A and B are shown apart, each in its own frame.
Chain A
């Protein structure tokens, strides 16, 4: 797997994905729907898979001494790595956010601890939709990304609505900074758990589908 990851970073990772890592800085924009800062990665992923298709990446990888499922595993791992890096890169800016929005975010959820729990879930939703859909053909990228992003939008819509309309959530989950920490930590823990489980499931489904693909 180390070799496959080397291959992904040496040949397949799209430069835009690295650039988008810096978009964590968008958490310093005063009052903004901060979830968007994490959505750019989807564009990076689309770039990576489209360029990969042009380079016949799947065929290249399948030709190496690896299992067919390793082709999927390597791809999922790289994306997971970038999702985690995207989150990590945003953390310092999230810490600074209360200085810019002392009265809280007017345009969406505060980038607090619980917010990151939802970011994990948002990536989980994308992975769950995107990977199995893409590896059904290992060819059609656009549809899989669009479907993944749509699912993410529905999820985020639900989160934002719930957080603003349900008073208990608004106080406990949408607190500024590290206020009301226990409730927030619970959401974060749930987010991480959901992310781990769902991404694993997404990998399994994608690998099973890819096994049936004739290259």
Chain B
């Protein structure tokens, strides 16, 4: 059974539109949510949580429709939209004291455990925390009631490589029992190479692909060639390309790869797929 299902989510702003965003996730997996700044990642997450009111579409978590079961579902899911920035003058101890009352399943032992693990001092004020520490505190709060589903907006941004690795390892620990899932957005594609099972890629408010990570990367190939080989016919096949003084490089679908076998092709990674997609139709 799906633990998360987003169907045809739409939200129209003056200058931006989320169009028919759909994807789903089963229990026990990690899904990476990628796209460049302004592509609609945060808007999607907020629309899923009813913080932004979607114009259309349905969101179901743990098998229940979100809007109809908001109160109960918020007890069972954890979310984090950026680090903790609210009440900067308060000590962590006080903020926690307020928040913990709201959760039936809050577990002080789990909370204390993460505090120690992340080296967070509860007597510090929120404003005294670095960006990375704020993220860790937000994660601590989101994990302390053992939610079934975690929706995290850029949980690794602002973290140094070591902390980032810790957090990604923590993600794998969380899904280890096979019952919980994580959806997290990121700009750092190596995060995904390390632990994501699925990748969902959003561009200009539309989902380009949502699939198993290896299927996602396997669906494309990188081609390289000289300037002479860069024909108009080839250009039609390229999803995106970059030209340089000596030749070009570009992205084709794996289906198209046999048609360009006179050129050198190589496997694509997530980062290059994103880069070429964003270079679509541009010189």
Contacts and interface: CB of A to CB of B under 8 A. Distances in A.
Q: Decide if A and B touch, CB cutoff 8 A.
A: yes
Interface of A: 3, 6-7, 10-11, 55-57, 59-60, 62-68, 211-215
15 contacts: A3-B101, A3-B102, A10-B94, A11-B90, A11-B95, A11-B98, A55-B87, A56-B86, A60-B86, A63-B79, A66-B74, A211-B53, A212-B53, A214-B51, A215-B51
A52 to B, nearest CB: 10
Interface in B1-53: 46, 50-53
A10 B98 contact: yes
Contacts, number: 54
Contacts of B90: 11
A68 B86 contact: no
A62 B102 contact: no
B50 A65 contact: no
A122 to B, nearest CB: 32
Range for the number of chain B residues in contact with chain A? 20 to 34
A59 B99 CA distance: 13
A11 B52 contact: no
Given A6-B98, A7-B98, A57 B86 contact: yes
A182 B175 CA distance: 70
Given A11-B90, A56-B85, A65 B103 contact: yes
Nearest to A68: B50
B86 A59 contact: yes
B46 A65 contact: no
B53 A65 contact: no
Q: 7 nearest interchain CB pairs? A: A65-B74, A60-B86, A214-B52, A56-B86, A215-B51, A3-B101, A55-B87
Nearest to A61: B86
Contact of A65 (B75, B89, B97, B98): B75
Contacts of A62: 51
A28 to B, nearest CB: 36
A62 B46 CA distance: 11
B99 A215 contact: no
A101 B97 CA distance: 49
A205 B132 CA distance: 40
B205 to A, nearest CB: 15
Contact of A215 (B52, B71, B101): B52
A65 B73 CA distance: 8
B91 to A, nearest CB: 11
Nearest to B104: A65
B88 interface: yes
A66 B90 CA distance: 22
Contacts of B215: none
B97 A66 contact: no
Contact of B102 (A56, A64, A67, A68): A64
B186 to A, nearest CB: 20
Interface in B55-93: 70-71, 74-75, 79, 81, 85-90
Nearest to B11: A214
Nearest to B43: A214
A64 B84 CA distance: 13
A57 B52 CA distance: 16
Given A65-B102, A65-B103, A67-B71, A55 B86 contact: yes
A64 B86 contact: no
B154 to A, nearest CB: 16
